[in-house]
Amino acid sequence: MEKIAVLTSGGDSQGMNSAIRAIVRTGIAHGFEMIGVRRGFKGLMENDFITLGTSDVSDILYRGGTFLQSARSDEFKTEAGQNKAINNLHEHGIEHLVVIGGDGSYRGAQALFNRGIKTYGLPGTIDNDIPLTDYTIGFDTTLNVVTNAISNLRDTMSSHERVSVIEVMGRSCGDIALQAGISSGVDAVLIPEFEWDIKEISDQLAKGFQRGKTHSIVMVAEGAGTAEDVASLIEKHSDLDTRPTVLGHIQRGGIPTAFDRIFTSRMGHKVIELIENEITGVALGMEKNEITYHSFDDIFDSENVVDKHLYQIFQDLI
Ligand code: F6P
């Protein structure tokens, strides 16, 4: 029986469990033996493997996080670290390795692929910063978490007639800020992909209060600045009472949305189909509602770009 291993690596994201479940159950249904690697590439180097049966992935579909756990590993970036991982895979007779993670994890998967291991990637990151896929795993859930958090903030900001500056994650990608900004109807979105003028924004906010607004919300992507800096700049350019909030790791938790569960179930199913068709060295994603795949090389050669049209929509809606 051919063996397929699966691991989750880098920052966790809601829907990773659902992806593992889909890979394991489809793999078993198609006659493969399924292995889980605990704690990402670290576990791969440390031989932390477990056999996964159908019932081992029960009760995880609707849970955030990853039951296999995750880690970031510097050692795995070295040749010595990769040698350990490759030896362990050979020792267990594992031919295929599915890596669920973001950009750094894909680089690890590609390194192993270049050294003869058949690897596959699933885009596991809340940041939505992987090229050649419209969505990454957990992005939709994170948008919902941020949208709900903003709703809570509105209550208190309104009572005190304040401006709330909310910092969200995303590394150098502004997608979380922009899309949660649209779904929450915020007053300004500061993202690394576009320039902004803090004086202009402060004037706009002040005008809003003069018109009778009771509060305002400004969203800042972590790649564009900190909530604290932006809040103090707004106070410098206006007489508005401003409070910074860093949403932090709250954004990476929570029950995965139906979208993230279906998206990951489809990709988990598809990766087994690719293995059966001997298509390897690829990462999966979704483009125009189709599950697609591209070589790791193509993904690294492509640039992740923010949706300019969405940014325009946001500008027209404020
Ligand atoms: O890549 C996912 C992410 O949550 C980023 O948005 C954030 O910058 C980073 O991970 C935080 O990393 P850590 O969990 O190691 O603090």
Report the CATH number at residue 168. Answer: 3.40.50.460
Amino acid 111: pLDDT: 98
pLDDT tens for 106-133 read 999 999 999 999 999 999 999 999 999 9
Q: State whether 84 and 180 are in the same domain.
A: no
Amino acid 260: pLDDT: 98
Amino acid 52: pLDDT: 98
Contact yes or no for 286/263 (Cβ under 8 A): yes
Burial of 152 (0-12, 13-18, 19+ CB in 10 A): exposed
Q: CB under 8 Å to 74, separation ≥6 — which residues?
A: none
Amino acid 262: pLDDT: 98
Q: State whether 21 and 87 are in the same domain.
A: yes
Q: State whether 167 and 88 are in the same domain.
A: no
Would you say the pTM of this structure is higher than 0.90?
yes
Q: State whether 133 and 145 are in the same domain.
A: no
Amino acid 84: pLDDT: 98
Residue positions annotated with a catalytic role: 127
* 101 Cβ inside 6 Å of ligand 1: no
Domain hosting residue 15, numbered range: 3-138+256-300
- 147 within domain boundaries: yes
* 170 Cβ inside 6 Å of ligand 1: yes
CA 96 to chain centre: 23
* 102 Cβ inside 6 Å of ligand 1: yes
Amino acid 4: pLDDT: 98
Q: Helix 103-114 and helix 79-91: axis angle, to 10°? A: 70
**Sorting pLDDT into bands at 50, 70 and 90, what band is 34?**
very high
| Total of domains in the chain | 2
Nearest ligand 1 atom to the CA of 129 is 1
The token pair that represents 258 in the structure block = 């139906």
Q: State whether 231 and 282 are in the same domain.
A: no
Q: State whether 185 and 106 are in the same domain.
A: no
Q: State whether 55 and 38 are in the same domain.
A: yes
pLDDT tens for 146-155 read 999 999 999 9
State the average pLDDT over residues 212-232: 98
Binding-site entries for substrate: 125-127, 162, 169-171, 222, 243, 249-252
Amino acid 66: pLDDT: 98
Nearest ligand 1 atom to the CA of 169 is 6
pLDDT tens for 276-290 read 999 999 999 999 999
Report the CATH number at residue 51. Answer: 3.40.50.450
Amino acid 179: pLDDT: 98
Amino acid 30: pLDDT: 98
- 159 within domain boundaries: yes
* 126 Cβ inside 6 Å of ligand 1: yes
Residue with tokens 């063996």: 3
Residue 260 CA to ligand 1 center (angstroms) comes to: 19
Q: What are phi and psi of 244, to 5 degrees?
A: -90, 145
Q: State whether 264 and 133 are in the same domain.
A: yes
Binding-site entries: 11, 21-25, 72-73, 102-105, 125-127, 154, 162, 169-171, 185-187, 211, 213-215, 222, 243, 249-252
Nearest CA to ligand 1 atom 12: 11
- 316 within domain boundaries: no
Q: What percent of the chain has pLDDT over 70?
A: 100
- 306 within domain boundaries: no
Q: Of 217, 234, 252, which closes a domain?
A: 252
- Across all residues in the chain, what is the average pLDDT? 98
What is the spatial distance between Cα 299 and Cα 293, in angstroms, rounded to a whole number? 10
Distances (CA, A) of 281 to 20, 108, 315: 19, 11, 40
* 27 Cβ inside 6 Å of ligand 1: no
pLDDT tens for 61-113 read 999 999 999 999 999 999 999 999 999 999 999 999 999 999 999 999 999 99
Q: Of 191, 221, 252, which closes a domain?
A: 252
What is the spatial distance between Cα 149 and Cα 251, in angstroms, rounded to a whole number? 9
pLDDT tens for 159-170 read 999 999 999 999
Q: State whether 223 and 234 are in the same domain.
A: yes
**Sorting pLDDT into bands at 50, 70 and 90, what band is 57?**
very high
Q: In terms of Cα–Cα distance, which of 27, 4, 25 is closest to 273? A: 27
Q: State whether 120 and 263 are in the same domain.
A: yes
Q: What percent of the chain has pLDDT over 90?
A: 100
What is the spatial distance between Cα 120 and Cα 280, in angstroms, rounded to a whole number? 6
Q: Is the dihedral of CA 106, 271, 298, 304 positive or negative?
A: negative
